[in-house]
Amino acid sequence: MRTVVIGASSGLGRCIGIGLAKRGARVALLARRRARLEDAAKEAGRESLAIECDITDEASCRS
């Protein structure tokens, strides 16, 4: 399974992203805060991908 989780640097987004990864999903974790996002990706494991972006800003998502 492949999933995209927004708001993955904290709260429910972080818990959902890490939980899915620990259950075998490949997870793309999206959030604005790079340091917290990288911490979540490390906890999620090697099948996770950390992407820093603000989903309310189209230009941020394209880069």
Per-residue tens of pLDDT for the chain, all 63 residues:
999 999 999 999 999 999 999 999 999 999 999 999 999 999 999 989 999 999 999 998 887
Residue 5, pLDDT score? 98
Grouping H, G, I as helix, E, B as strand and the rest as coil, residue 58 is helix
Where do the structural domains in the chain lie, given as residue ranges?
2-62
Question: Which pLDDT belongs to residue 50?
Answer: 96
Structure tokens at 22: 């620990």
Q: Please tell me the distance from the alpha carbon of residue 41 to that of residue 50, in angstroms, as a whole number.
A: 6
Give residue 60's pLDDT: 85
Predicted TM-score of the model (pTM): 0.89
Residue 29 confidence (pLDDT) = 98
Give the pLDDT score at 35: 95
